[in-house]
Structure 1
């Protein structure tokens, strides 16, 4: 198994452990965003969603370590596990998004 695949799997398990009531689409967005922050490549578990696009934006052109990425992206008020914000609405208008959780779709007016 590659480091990329291992990081995806560990990140998914971490999201499920820390945010057990989150939607599966949020868990996928977290794992994919961690992979992007660490490896510069997203994907593996569904997506992209508006949450994934917003979460990955700070990592365009820069890489961080796994611990830094998970700490930042696990934030309960952050782009993945926090409320839908204007940044999510902007991502919906400008990016290809198709894997949003049903509650997120409602909040985004879809």
Structure 2
């Protein structure tokens, strides 16, 4: 945090915290510290994953600082599309107010109504036709390139949460225990 305060004194506390958490994550491999995870922290971790960089926990402070600073302190417009994508699929906290304002303004032209494909999935869930909802979700997943959790809620409805690109497996954190159950189930004929 002191490096951020010294080199970016005019930036918001949220961006400085995202930077400090990101550097700590890259150097130690551990998350946490100054709140979050924020949009900018997710931006750093997504960029590490997609760029094929060294694994978190193996970076030097200098390399982590050089990598994280542009992602955390550049103007929102530089990463607006990626930040919007992150906001759609990740739980984010302690975000920079300017990031949130830019994202809100960029979405003003978007329709608040779901597409007809999504509406059909929603209608299937609401009517209790879960097999149809799952089939439509899988079809939409293949067409859109998005991955959805395959977990089943306690009421029998499908989870349907969008998984982050770097997520491993087919289940969100809440339903990951179901992956083990599915592997141990006897085959059905």
TM (norm. structure 2) is: 0.48
Which deviations, in whole Å up to 9, do the C-alpha atoms of 1:14-62 show, x marking residues without a partner? 0111110100000000000001111111211011110110012244570
Counterpart for residue 8 of structure 1: none
Structure number with higher relative contact order (C-alpha < 8 Å, ≥ 6 residues apart): 1
**How is 1:17-96 mapped onto 2 (pairs within 5 angstroms)?**
17-60=6-49, 62=55, 63-74=58-69, 78-84=70-76, 85=79, 86-96=81-91
User: What are structure 1's unaligned runs of at least 5 residues?
Assistant: 1-11
Contact preservation (8 Å) 1:37, 1:59: no
Tell which structure's C-alpha radius of gyration is larger: 2
Alpha-carbon separation, structure 2, partners of 1:83 and 1:55? 15
- The more displaced of 24-33 and 51-60 is 51-60
Gaps of 5+ in 2: 106-189
Distance (whole Å) between structure 2 residues aligned to residue 39 and residue 59 of structure 1: 14
CA–CA separation in structure 2 for the residues paired with 1:13 and 1:27:
9
The Cα shift of 1:88 comes to: 1.0
Aligned mates of 1:88, 1:51 — CA distance in 2? 8
- Measure, in 1, the Cα distance between the counterparts of 2:47 and 2:96: 22
- How many aligned residue pairs are there? 96
Residue aligning to 1:109: 104
Q: Following TM superposition, where does structure 1 have runs of at least 4 consecutive aligned residues deviating by more than 4 angstroms?
A: none
CA distance in 2, matches of 1:38, 1:65: 6
Distance 1:89 1:30 in 2: 19
**Would the aligned equivalents of 2:35 and 2:93 in 1 still touch at CA under 8 Å?**
no
Q: Is the 8 A contact 1:36 1:59 kept in 2?
A: no
Query: Please, what TM-score do these two structures have when normalized by structure 1?
Result: 0.79
